[in-house]
Amino acid sequence: MEEVIIRETKVEDIADIIRVANQAFLEDARRPSVTGRSVVNGLRSFPKLQLVAEVNGEIAGFIVGNISGDRGKVALLAVSPKYWRKGVGTKLITELERRIKEMGGKEVTPGTPFARGFYEKVGYTCYEVEYKLIRELPYSVIPKMDSDLNPIRFEDLKKIVKTLGEKEALEFLRAFFSSFEIKGGKAYILSEKDEVKGIVVVAENKWNSDLLEITYFYPSEGDGVFDLLENIVIEASKMGYRWVGLRTRNEKLAKELMNRGWKEAHMPEFWTMYLMRKELK
C-alpha cells in the first residue's frame, strides 16, 4: 500500500470528509449535518486534534478529537471502505493520542457502537456499556388498549419534584421541557391515591419515526419499573409505533428486560454503545 500521510485537517477537506463519513458509518454520523457540524466545531476549538489520513492525495480517513482537563476524547473516527484493514485507523488514533498527551492528556475515551474490536486491538478497554433496548410492538400481545398513565400537568410538577429530590428532579425536568420541542414528545405520570408511582418521558427518535424512545423513566430499578414500562408499551402501541426503545447503564435491569421480551437494539440509529478508554503512558 502507498504511504499514509497523517496531517491536520484543513477547511477545504470538509467535502472529502463527508464523503468518507457517508460510506463508513452505519450510525447517524453518516449524515452531513452530524459529521459536518462535528468537524467544524473541532476546527474552531481544537484545530490540532482534527486529523486526516491522505493516500496519494486522496482523503482515506479522518478523526475528530477534543480534550477537557486531562481527558482526551475521540468524537469521530472513520476510514473509507477502500482503505479498511490497512492500518489507516491505527495511524490516525496513534497520532491523536500523541497530540493529546502533549497537551497534558492522561487518557483517551471514545464511545462506539460498532468498533469495539478495533479499539481493543489498539489498547483500549471497555469500562461501561450503555445498553439500547427495544420492544417490538407488532405481533406482540398487548394486554389492553388503555394504560394507567396520565399526561403530566404543570400543577403536578411540585409533587413530582418533592418525590424525586433535587438531583433526580433536575434530570426529569431536563427531559420534560425538551419533550416540548421534539416530535412525539410526551410526559406521563403513574399515580395511586395522589402518590407518584412512576414517571416516564418519551419522544420520537430523530431519525426513525417508527421508534418511540424513552428519554427519562422513574423508578429506574425495582419492580415498579416493569409496571411503568408495560404501561408505556400500551401507549406506544395505541399510537401505532413499531418499537419502544430505552437506554440504560444498569446491566441488571437490561438483562431482566431482555428476559421479559425486550431485545438489545442493533439499529443504525439506536445501538448499544461501548464506552472505551486508554491510559496514555
Quick one: pLDDT band at residue 34, thresholds 50, 70, 90?
confident
Contact yes or no for 49/101 (Cβ under 8 A): no
14: pLDDT strictly greater than 90 = yes
CA 30, distance to chain mean position in Å, is: 14
Quick one: pLDDT band at residue 266, thresholds 50, 70, 90?
confident
Quick one: pLDDT band at residue 29, thresholds 50, 70, 90?
confident
The set of cell numbers assigned to 1 is 500500500
Question: If you write DSSP's letter for every residue of the chain in order, what string do you get?
Answer: -PPPEEEE--GGGHHHHHHHHHHH-SSGGGSHHHHHHHHHHHHHH-GGGEEEEEETTEEEEEEEEEEETTEEEEEEEEE-GGGTTTTHHHHHHHHHHHHHHHTT--EEEEEESS-HHHHHHTT-EEEEEEEEEEEE-TTS----SS-S-EEPPGGGHHHHHHHH-HHHHHHHHHHHHHGGGSTT-EEEEEEETTEEEEEEEEEE-SS-TTEEEEEEEES-SSHHHHHHHHHHHHHHHHTT-SEEEEEE--HHHHHHHHHTT-EE-EETTEE-EEEEEEE--
Which pLDDT score, from 0 to 100, does residue 27 have? 74
Q: Of residues 113 and 271, which shows the higher confidence score?
A: 271
* Domains of the chain in sequence order: 5-105 (3.40.630.30), 132-271 (3.40.630.30)
Q: What is the pLDDT of residues 238-263, one digit of tens each?
A: 999 999 999 999 999 999 999 999 99
CA 51 to each of CA 3, 35, 92, 206, 208: distance values in angstroms, whole numbers, following the listed order = 16, 14, 7, 29, 31
The set of cell numbers assigned to 112 is 462506539
The set of cell numbers assigned to 200 is 416516564
1: pLDDT strictly greater than 70 = no
Question: CA-CA distance, 266 to 29, in Å (whole number)?
Answer: 16
Task: Report pTM.
Answer: 0.81
Q: What is the pLDDT of residues 178-226, one digit of tens each?
A: 999 999 999 999 998 889 999 999 999 988 999 999 999 999 888 899 9
Residue among 7, 63, 72, 67 nearest 35 (CA): 63
Residue among 129, 62, 123, 160 nearest 279 (CA): 123
